Structure 1
C-alpha cells in the first residue's frame, strides 16, 4: 500500500500558489507586464489571397487578436505549399499524401514600414486517399487546415521570442 496521498499533495501545491515558480524566472509572455503583450490586438495581418492563406490568417488572428484601432505592427506572409505522394499500393496507386508547407513572414512597424523581424517556418501533415472521393476530399481539406494551425503556432512562437528578446 502506498503512503502517497494525492489530495494532500494537490492541496499543499494550491496553498503555495505561484510562490514555487517565483524563483525560476518564469513570466507569462502575455501577462500584465509580459514582453509579448504589445502584440495582442496590435498586429494587422495582410489580407489572404487563397483559401489556405485565409486559414492561416484566421489562426493568427485567433492567437494574436484582431486590431481594434490603429495597429502598431503589420505582418506580411509568403506561403509555399506542396503535395507529395508518399504511399503506393502494389498496383502503383498513391494512397497517402504529405502536404508540406513553409511560410516566410516579416513583422514591420506600421509607422515607418521598417522590418522589425523576419523568419521562416515549415511543417507537414499527411492524409489518406484510400477511401471514397468524399472522404478523400475531406481528409485533404483537414490536412491543409491542420498544417495552417501548426504554421500559425510556429509563427506566433517566433514573434513571442522576438518580443521577449526586444524587452530584455
Structure 2
C-alpha cells in the first residue's frame, strides 16, 4: 500500500503512551489546581542580602505566594547569592566595552521544624554594554542585574515545583 506511512503513527502512539503512564503537566491548567500550588504557597522566603537579593526574593514571592506570605509556613526557603562581573570585549587600553553580569544562588528548603528537605542551585548571566556615559552604563548594568534576578527566581521556582510534584 503506497499511501500508508508508518511515521504518521508515531505521534499518536506517543500521546497514547504518555496518557497511559500518568503523565501530567507540572502547571496544569485544566480547571484543577496543580498539586504543587498548595505546597509552594506554604513556603516562607527568608530575606536575602543586598539589592539583588531583594529582587530575587520579590520575584520568588510573586511566583510562590502570590496571595501573600503564609501565616503558618510549612517550609522555609533560605537563599544565598553570589554576584560577579566578567569583562568581555577588551579594548586596547585594557578596559572592557562589554561585560557579563553573573548571578548564582544556592538555596535550601527546610521544614518548619528545621529539617532540610531539598537543596539546589540556580545560575544566570546577562550581558551589558559599558559605555562612556556613566548613567548609560549604570542603567545597562542595572537592567542586567534585574534580568538575572528574575531568571534565578524562575529557576528556583521550577526546581521547587518539580520537587513538590
TM exceeds 0.5? yes
Instruction: Confirm whether residue 88 of structure 1 aligns to residue 90 of structure 2.
Output: yes
Normalising by structure 1, report the TM-score: 0.77
Could you list the per-position Cα deviations for residues 77-135 of structure 1 after superposition, in whole angstroms to 9, with x for gaps in the alignment? 1111111111122333211111112111011111x111110001112111100241111
Partner of 2:27: 29
CA distance in 2, matches of 1:30, 1:53: 30
> 8 Å contact 2:88–2:98 — kept in the other structure?
yes
CA shift for structure 1 position 43: 1.1
Partner of 1:43: 43
1:125-140 aligned at under 5 Å gives the runs 125-140=126-141
> 8 Å contact 2:43–2:74 — kept in the other structure?
yes
Partner of 1:67: 69
CA shift for structure 1 position 158: 0.5
CA distance in 2, matches of 1:107, 1:83: 28
> 8 Å contact 1:36–1:160 — kept in the other structure?
yes
Secondary structure, counterpart of 1:67 in structure 2: coil
> 8 Å contact 1:101–1:147 — kept in the other structure?
yes
CA distance in 1, matches of 2:28, 2:51: 30
The answer for unaligned runs of 5 or more in structure 1 is: 1-19
Partner of 1:11: none
Partner of 2:115: 114
Structure 1 residue runs of 4+, over 4 Å off?
none
CA distance in 1, matches of 2:33, 2:135: 49
Secondary structure, counterpart of 1:92 in structure 2: coil
CA distance in 2, matches of 1:28, 1:119: 19
Query: Which one is further off, 58-67 or 90-99?
Result: 90-99
> 8 Å contact 2:86–2:99 — kept in the other structure?
yes
> 8 Å contact 2:48–2:80 — kept in the other structure?
no
